[in-house]
Amino acid sequence: MTSLVGIVVSIALLASPGALPASAKSTTPTQKPCSSYGRYTACDGHGKIRVTGKDGGPGRTSAPSSRSGTPAVEPVGSFRFLTCGAGAAAKMTSLGISPDAARFQAAGCGNWVNGCRATGQATGKPETAAIRLIKNADGTWGPNGAACRATGPPRVTPQMVWEQASRMIPPAAIGLAPHENTLVNIQTIMWVDTAAARNLPDVTILGQQVSIDIKIDHVDWDFGDAKSSTSEGPGKAYDAQGDPCKDKQCPDYYGHTYTTTGDMTVTATVTWQATFRVGAGAVTPIPGTIPGPTTNAAILVGEARSVLVPGPR
């Protein structure tokens, strides 16, 4: 089999056109753009393409196809790319590949498809898996691995927005009542100082304006006394005037009752659900949740004791 050197492909079975590499020059104005695969370039349409070989060495030139649409005659070492999916095995068999080898290559497409899909999620460029074939010296075609091909313009993905939002969510300060000193066996009221739903500043991703809306999924609390809990919302800020509490437990509020004394550090982590919109497009949910920054607050827990004092005489 011919060694892999810089080559040209000019057939109708190749990848969707992409940008023309700097090393490739079309010899006719009718040549369509090419798709680059490392130092190998695949081209559709008429004309010739010259591609620089390895380390700047000699390359190859494709034979031109006729303007009637007859495929070009690919030189030895040329590549074809068959999209993974139904019919791939039959197409390889028609090119002279043994049925067993064709079925084996087609069966492996499942793994390639998953890998290309993951690449597309990370880059925003839709990727399609393809089986790569190479032309042998005897004119037959043989399997030569696989490739991911861009099948459309870059798009904003939920993963991209998740990464932006995770850096933009502001910390939510912890509110306490009593504020700095509390007592055992009474409820210390707690809340996080943030709205249950809010908008983040618009961001630009892939040159497009993206708006992000978030709402609280839950808040994880660590009370500093080896106890923890989870609340569904931010909690209610203590209102001494409109909704005071004079009992040991306050049903209108969220909080924690300490049973030991000492310096405690209360920790809260707000976790959010999010949706986004690209321009004036549809609202798209971001799967899963986004944890916000963790915040802390210190409080001293004491104990009240009764002391006998002399009464009036």
For residue 37, pLDDT beyond 60:
no
* Mean pLDDT over each residue of the chain, to the nearest integer: 75
pLDDT score at 150: 65
Collapse the DSSP code of 15 into the 3-class scheme (helix H, G, I; strand E, B; otherwise coil) and give the result. coil
The secondary structure of residue 57, as a DSSP letter, is -
Encoded amino acid at 158, one letter: P
Domains and CATH numbers, the chain: 1-77 (no CATH), 82-154 (no CATH), 158-302 (2.60.40.10)
Sequence-ordered strand ranges (E) for the chain:
8-10, 25-26, 34-37, 40-43, 49-51, 60-61, 79-83, 127-135, 141-150, 174-177, 181-183, 187-192, 197-205, 208-222, 228-231, 255-257, 262-278, 283-302
Q: What is the mean pLDDT of residues 78-86?
A: 78
For residue 44, pLDDT beyond 60:
no
pLDDT, tens digit (0-9, with 9 covering 90-100), for 255-292: 999 999 999 999 999 999 999 999 988 999 999 999 99
283 and 250 Cβ atoms separated by less than 8 Å = no
pLDDT score at 155: 78
